[in-house]
Amino acid sequence: MSSFQLFNPAAVFIFFACVLVSGIFTMNPVITVISLAGAILFFFVLPGQKNNRIHICTVLMTLACMVFNPVFGHNGATVIAVINNHNVTVEAGLYGIFLGLMLSAAVYWFASFSQIMTSDKIIYILGFLSQKAALVLTMALRFIPAYIRKAKQINDSQKALGLYKDETIISRLKGGARVFSILLTYMIEKTIITSDSMSARGYGGGRRRSFSLYPFGKRDVIFLTVSLVFTACTVYASSKGALFYNFYPFADTPATDFTALTGYTGYGLLCLSPSVIEGGNRIRWRYLRSKISHSDIRFPVR
């Protein structure tokens, strides 16, 4: 289990928002590289099932950006070739790589995000904004598996009734529409039972008090404060213009003055913090678990 399961989802959500917003909307290759490094590190540190196709995906995406950007964009001063009267420039290629890396970073962050923020946590966060919306979300999530199962049943029964006349596409399309139509009747009629069950338990559209499985503890306060301070550093540097970077006509050298360094450091620590927390907790857990095995003997043998 990830130690992020133990944090309040709101804190985790704000953390991800900070990383993504300040990472994606800052036009600076250093920030992008930091973001990508932090994202990949966290992706591997986070326990659980990993989808390894994601790496192929990001590499292809970066290559595609690198190739296509110079084809369409012809800004930049360092021309390396001319195709169809259009300049192909080094700067456009660099911008493409930068763009690809930024998108890759977002992909990795979102992969971790989806793994940690399970549906009930998204519902919890939405509940702050609107209880009614959160209720719609939880009900929809409850209906989806039921409808999928029902659709399969309906399809089977239609098949066994001999209603699919032949195996052509038209017959199948009609069959699909029939299944949908039956499912629609079923769904509409049954929503009445669900809403009765809600009314019977006192739901009247008024304000409710959401039951929360997630307390907001000291740990969350610290995590949130630290994240916000690091983000503030980045945003400060960004607003001072220290992180501003130009690709055209010549690619700049990234700024290295004090303000810029503050920004880099802040963002670097922000991106590193989840991996540190996760890694630290894992070491702590290993230590704690090592103590468990000693008390394994339950019945003293005489």
Of residues 150 and 219, the one with the C-beta less far from another protein: 150
Residues 6+ apart with CB under 8 A from 156: none
Give the Cα separation of 28 and 245 in Å (integer): 5
Characterize 18-35 residue by residue with b for buried, 16 or more Cβ atoms within 10 angstroms of its Cβ, and e for exposed: bbbebbbebbbbbbbbbb
# chain residues binding another protein, by CB under 8 A: 102
Min CB(197)–another protein separation in Å: 4
Exposure letters 70-82 (e unless 16+ CB within 10 A, then b): beebbebeeeeee
Give the separation between CA 195 and CA 167, rounded to whole angstroms. Answer: 40
> Judged by CB under 8 A, which stretch of 7-15, 206-214, 273-281, 285-293 contacts another protein?
206-214
**Which residue in the set 128, 250, 258, 285 belongs to the binding site for another protein (CB under 8 A)?**
128
Q: Which stretch binds another protein (CB under 8 A): 42-50, 195-203, 223-231, 287-295?
A: 195-203
Cα 234 from Cα 30, distance rounded (Å): 12
Contacting range for another protein; rule: CB under 8 A; set: 20-28, 38-46, 268-276, 284-292: 20-28
Note whether 48 binds another protein by CB under 8 A.
no
- In the complex, least distance from residue 72 CB atom to another protein, rounded to whole angstroms: 5
Per CB under 8 A, 114 contacts another protein: yes
Task: Output the smallest distance, CB 222 to another protein, in A.
Answer: 22
Phi, psi at 86, each rounded to 5° = -115, 140
Please state, as a whole number, how many other Cβ atoms lie within 10 Å of the Cβ of residue 160: 9
In DSSP terms, 79 is beta-bridged to 89
Binding test (CB under 8 A) with another protein, winner from 60, 80, 83, 185: 185
Residues of span 138-157 touching another protein by CB under 8 A: 138-151, 153-154, 156-157
Of 38, 127, 263, 268, which lies in the binding site for another protein, with binding defined by CB under 8 A? 127
Task: Indicate if the alpha-carbon torsion angle 223, 126, 115, 61 is positive or negative.
Answer: negative
Within 8 A by CB and 6+ apart from 57, the residues are 107
Q: Which is nearer to another protein, 110 or 279 (CB)?
A: 110
> In which region does residue 48 sit, left (phi positive, over 0), alpha (psi from -120 to 50) or beta (all else)?
left
Report the site for another protein in 241-280 (rule: CB under 8 A): 241, 243-245
Sequence length of the chain is 302
Options 52, 53, 170, 201; binder of another protein; rule CB under 8 A:
201
Indicate whether 66 belongs to the interface with another protein (CB under 8 A). Answer: no
Query: Using the rule CB under 8 A, is 6 a contact of another protein?
Result: no
In angstroms, give the least distance from the CB of 278 to another protein. 20
188 binds another protein (CB under 8 A): yes
CB 12 within 8 A of CB 117: yes
Q: How far is the CB of 25 from another protein (least distance, A)?
A: 4
Give the nearest distance from C-beta 194 to another protein in angstroms: 5
Report if residue 284 touches another protein, rule: CB under 8 A. Answer: no
By CB under 8 A, which span of 2-10, 77-85, 116-124, 222-230 interacts with another protein?
Answer: 116-124
d(CA 191, CA 195): 6
